[in-house]
Structures are given as C-alpha cells and as structure tokens.
Chains A and B, each alone.
Chain A
Amino acid sequence: MMWVVWRQQRSIVVAFFAAAVVFVIWLIVTGQHEQSLWNQYLAAPCKGRLSSITRDVNYCAALEAKVSVSGAHNDDVATVIGAIYAPLLGLILGVNAVAREIEQKTNRLAWTQSGSRSKWLRSKYLTGVTTIVVICTTLCLVLSWWVRASHDAARIVPKAFPISGFVEIGYGVFCFVLAVAVGLLIRRAGWSLAVCIILFAGVFLSFADQVRPHLVTPSVMTVQGDQMEAGSSSGFYSSGGTPSNSWQLNQGFVPVTTKGIPSQALIGKSERAMGVCEEARVQGSYCSHHLHLRTVAIYIANGQYWTLQLLEGAFYVGLAALLAGISFLGIRRIRA
C-alpha cells in the first residue's frame, strides 16, 4: 500500500520539493548577502550605531538603510513562504490522500482489496508524515540559519518564531492529519481544503496569541525612561529596554512595591492613574515618582526559546495524534 500511496502523492511531493529547493537557494543567497551587510555595518568605521566618527556618518547611514530595507523586504518574503510552506504541504497531501480519493471513488477499489481500511489509512499517515518530516526538516535547518543571518528579528518573537526552529514540522504534520480527518468527514477535496485552511488559521492564531505567551514563566525588569526611547544597542529590535533577543510581552507602570509578574489589570490601573496625572500637565517622571510607580517590561527571555518550541511542537503533534486516533476509529464506519 505504501507504494500505491507514494505513487499517488509523487507529483505533489516533487512539486513541493522543487519549490523547497528554489526557496532554499533563495534563502542561502539572501542570507549570505544580509550577513555580509551586517558584518560591514558592525565593523569599523560604523560599528553598528555606536559610531561617533562624523566623517563616515553618511556612509554609515546609507549602510544602515541598506541593511534595514533589504532585511525588511527579504524578511517579509521568507516569513510568508516559510510560515505557509509546511502547513500547505500538509493540507494538500492530506486532502489528496483521502478526500480526493473518496471523491474519485478509488477508495472503493482500495477497500475491496485484501488490506483493511485501517491499513490503508496507516499507509497514508506513514507516507504523508515521512514526506513532511523529511522535506520540512531540511527547510527548517536552512530557515533557522537564515533568521540568524538576516538579523531582522529575534528568533523568539511571534514573527520569526514559526520559521526559526522545528515547530514548523509540527504545523505540517498537524495540517496533514487534520486534512485526512476532515476529508473523511466532508468527502470533497475543495471543501475539505477550504475548511482545513480556516481551522488551521484559527488554531494557529489562537495559539500564538492566547497560549504561547503563557507556556513559560516570563521575566520582569524595571525599565529606565531613556532605555525605552533608545531601544537595543546591538540591532534593530524594538525591545523597549528588554534584552535584544527576547520577546517583550508587555510594558507599563506598576506600583514600586509590586513583586513578581504584574497582572494586566494592575498595569491598566497604574496607567490610568498616570494618565490622570499627566492630563494635569505634570511631567511623566514627576507623576511616576509622585504616584510611587515604576516602569516595567515583561518579556520571555531567549533562553526559553527551545522550551517554547518543544511545548508548541508537542501541542500540534499531540493534537495530530488525537485526530489520527479519531480517524482510525471512524474509518470502519464510514460509507464508501
């Protein structure tokens, strides 16, 4: 059966593999270019933003603009393609594996041979998941390198997180299993694909927004006013004073006596008090001092990156395993 599944999926796999090869080549070329620009920018005479040599100010500004514009453009392309590649591969393979087959009624041919329906489904899973893991692992390695080389965003921030580690393999596997389950239910390839895209987008966005920030314990630091304006000295990350490679979740005023991680409600209450004070045209620093407030930034440190990757990856793989179990239970009763 594995041979049959591979034969059915072959053209899709080849198309996605070719796209991955083109994408990897593009990543290597642009990554090396950006790394080179970045090295020039950090080296003398500019030395990043720390340069004080006025005669090279125009050269450094031009180099900074070049690094910034080139990085932003390439980063958008890499983020979009990198983020949708694995889910799209999973969805198309999954829809083709089951919904397309049911739509074309070839499942009747397969289900009347000597193998059981469970065996048929198992071969679909084995072939699909293996394909996704092999292609996406290679892609993830290159993307991880590219995120470091481009220096456009810290790997832990939401923009880079999905493409900077191995969690993308989890997205791909989940999408494949989701498409198989939905295909068994809806039995139409087009509709299955549409439903799966909506479902995955819902799960992905909800998880990134509502779950990921709470997976690990964040850190809190008091931020000085000048730090908030200056940002990081080692890159373009807008970190608001938090470590440049961290993911800032929140910042605001809290009472100076606050210990631990302040709640959003407490920050909101302090912000309102500051607002009232500032409306009286009083300086912010006076208000914070007068109200006994300090500015804090809440962030997830870079050291938590792999824990987040592991937990998020486990969530998607666990969800995929659950869906696969339901599909195995359901396939015996599904009308051919």
Chain B
Amino acid sequence: MIDGTAVLETVNLGKRYRRKWGLQDCTLTIPKGRVAALVGPNGAGKSTLLRMAAGLDQPSVGNLRVLGESPTSGSGDLKERVGYLDQERPLYKSFRVAEMLRFGAKNNPNWNMAVAQEHLAQLDIPLRSRIGNLSGGQQAQVALTLCLAKEPELLLLDEPAAALDPVARDELLRILMRQVADCDSSVLLSTHSLGDVVAICDYVVVLAHSRVVLSNDTEYVLESHRILSAVHDGDLLPPPGVSVINSQSSTRGQSLLVRVELPIDETQWRVERPTLEEIVLAYLREGSPGAKDRHSHDDEGLGE
C-alpha cells in the first residue's frame, strides 16, 4: 500500500547478486520531511537500497516507490526530484570545478547555480581547480554540492561524511539541516557514525544481514525502548509486555535492552532510558554473526 506522504516506500524489496542477497525482505516507509539515517554494518545492504532508490540498480524482488514513482522506470522527472550522492563520490577528474557545475546546470532544470557557488565559496574550493587536484574531502564537498544545487525533494546520501574531517563533517551536517529547512527536502543517508544519527536524524532505519531490523521515528524509538538491569540473583525472567532485543550478563548482574509493548510494573528490575546509540548498537549486536551463534548455542542448551 503506497502512502502519499512517504518519500520512499519498499515492500518485500530484495536484491540478489548471483548467489548472495544484497538486501532481503526490506519493508519500510520513510515519511516526507524527515532526515532518516540508514545504519548497519558493512555489507548490510545500505548502499544497495540507496542505489535501487536512485534508479541505478533494479530490484530482484519486491516493490520500491520513490516520491510515488518507480525509480526503474527511468523517468527524467523523478531524477530531477532526487539527488543521489554515491559512496565513491564519482566526479570527472579531468574537469575543473566550474565545469562540474556546468555539468549539473546542463542536466538539471531546477539547478540553482547561486547555491552551488555560494556553497563552494564557503568551503574555499576555487572554481578553476581541477577535480583531480582536490583533496578527498573537497571532492566529497563538490559531489555534495552537485546534489544540493539540484534542490531535490529527496536526497539520497551514501555515507556523505565518510571522507570528511571533523570540521567539514560538522559543516556538512549544518548544510543538510539548512537544506531540509530551506527546500523542504527529505533526506535518507547511510552512515556508520551514530553521532551523526543522534545529531541530525529524526528517523532511523537499522539494517543487519540484509534485512531491516528497526525502522521508526527516533522519538518513538527512544520512547519504546528501555534498559532493564538487575543484580544477579539467579535467572530472572524479563517482565511481561517486553521483547528482549539484547541481553548482557556478567558476574555483577544482568542487563537487558527491551522494546516495551506494555507499561513495565516491576520492582525487581531497575528501568533506565537508553540513548539512541545504545538502542542502535543493541540491534546491530543482535544481528551480528556472533549473536546468531550465541542464540544457536542457547537454543541447543534449552533443547537439552
């Protein structure tokens, strides 16, 4: 079911590369006007999802709608409305910066040259410089400028801050926030930095092992998760109405990160609010191969 207010919607989306799934059973909805973070370990399928959303790859199974259209239709109209920043920051290395801007202007009817030039001027990137002579961070900024000057409705950014120093990273986050505010753009960015997620994102999608394990508003995610801790006193069962996402035991006690479905009325557990980082990490740990092994061992133990 397509939601008119969603900028990106997937239903059982999957992408198979020969024998391996790059993304599987991906069902999620990114509402309009959000800065959504796509978080997950390497190989989780973040770039695959973004490439399919940008129309660069075709899904093997499932449905994908971007701004209400199928990106695989190759519609020029949709491409005008979507800005995509690839992980590799592809730019024509022999071009000058000004020529890259000309490339953007020639290929995008909504191109805002003033925004592009102002952005690059703020970053002290000369228009006469050759792209190949710029640093990796500067090249990333030029690539981002090409996306922003399109003034798209949806920005798809694959690890936009990966090559940036802390100052440039902070600048990038500021620019993104301004873009959302000024142009009413929605953003879906993949990142390994949980700090970035906390700083600017109001929606979070966690991918692990090519599957979506969490997808919701950050506020809701924060409200619906708790850390339960107890001093070790034998095996303590989790309270009713919670789903255990991740558990950690030590000689000093037991700690659970749980998703709360009913109000917790327990005196045996100490209840704390987790940070967004703790929640995301818990989901990522739960999806890690080590967690799977642990669970399988647990299952074997239960079986005995």
Contact = CB atoms under 8 A, between A and B. Distances in A.
A113 B58 contact: no
A111 B55 contact: yes
A106 B56 contact: no
A93 B104 CA distance: 24
A119 B25 CA distance: 33
B75 to A, nearest CB: 9
Contacts of B54: 108, 112
A3 to B, nearest CB: 7
Interface string B65-85: 000000000101101101110
A11 interface: yes
Contacts of A104: 90, 93
A104 B107 CA distance: 20
12 contacts: A1-B107, A105-B86, A108-B84, A109-B143, A109-B146, A112-B55, A112-B82, A114-B107, A116-B74, A333-B58, A335-B56, A336-B51
B86 A332 contact: no
* Residue of B102, B103, B104, B109 contacting most chain A CB atoms (<10 Å): B103
Interface residues of A, number: 24
B106 A3 contact: yes
Given A8-B94, A113-B108, A117-B74, A108 B79 contact: no
Nearest to A4: B103
A139 B73 CA distance: 44
* Residue of B79, B107, B109 contacting most chain A CB atoms (<10 Å): B107
Interface string B98-134: 0100111011110000000000000000000000000
Contacts of A11: 94
Interface of A: 1, 3-4, 7-8, 11, 104-117, 332-333, 335-336
A105 B88 contact: yes
A3 B100 CA distance: 12
A110 B56 CA distance: 10
A108 B88 contact: yes
A11 B132 CA distance: 15
A109 B108 contact: no
B56 A112 contact: yes
Given A109-B143, A115-B76, A115-B79, 20 more contacts: A3-B106, A7-B95, A7-B99, A8-B92, A11-B94, A104-B93, A106-B90, A106-B91, A106-B92, A107-B90, A109-B86, A109-B92, A111-B56, A112-B55, A112-B82, A112-B86, A114-B77, A116-B74, A117-B74, A335-B56
Interface of B: 51, 54-58, 74, 76-77, 79-80, 82-84, 86, 88, 90-95, 99, 102-104, 106-109, 143, 146
Given A109-B86, A336-B51, A114 B79 contact: yes
Contacts of A112: 54-56, 79, 82-84, 86
Contact of A4 (B55, B58, B79, B106): B106
A8 B103 CA distance: 12
Nearest to A120: B107
Contacts of A116: 74, 76
Nearest to B102: A3
B55 A109 contact: no
Contact of A336 (B57, B91, B95): B57
Nearest to A11: B94
B33 to A, nearest CB: 22
Given A7-B95, A332-B74, A336-B57, A114 B109 contact: yes
3 cross-chain pairs, A with B, having the tightest CB-CB distances, nearest first: A336-B56, A113-B107, A105-B90
